[in-house]
Amino acid sequence: MQEIIFLIIESPEGGYEAQAIGLSIYTEAEDWATLSQNILEAVACHFDDGIERITRMHFVKDEVLTA
């Protein structure tokens, strides 16, 4: 079973952006639930072979702290 990992970032315009690592799959959404649904739909569209895949969502939040 193939595993696909999506890196999730907060969009500067609001919502979230998701990019699959090593694949040309990208999607975005205004909320987390819609993003999850969009990711599953994007993976299904990208792979039209009927093989089941594990999809992980890895949220990355980059913050700069100063002392």
Is 28 a member of any domain? yes
pTM: 0.86
Q: What is the pLDDT of residues 19-65, one digit of tens each?
A: 999 999 999 999 999 999 999 999 999 998 888 899 999 999 888 89
Res. 1 pLDDT band, cuts 50 70 90: low
Q: Environment class of residue 39 by beta-carbon count within 10 Å: exposed (0-12), middle (13-18) or buried (19+)?
A: buried
What total of structural domains would you count in the chain?
A: 1
Is 66 a member of any domain? no
Q: Given its phi and psi angles, is residue 3 left (phi above 0), alpha (psi -120 to 50 degrees) or beta?
A: beta
**Domain, as residue range, for 50:** 2-59
Is 10 a member of any domain? yes
CATH of the domain at 43: 3.30.2390.10
Q: What is the per-residue burial (b if ≥16 Cβ within 10 Å, else e) of 6-22?
A: bebeeeeeeebbbbbee
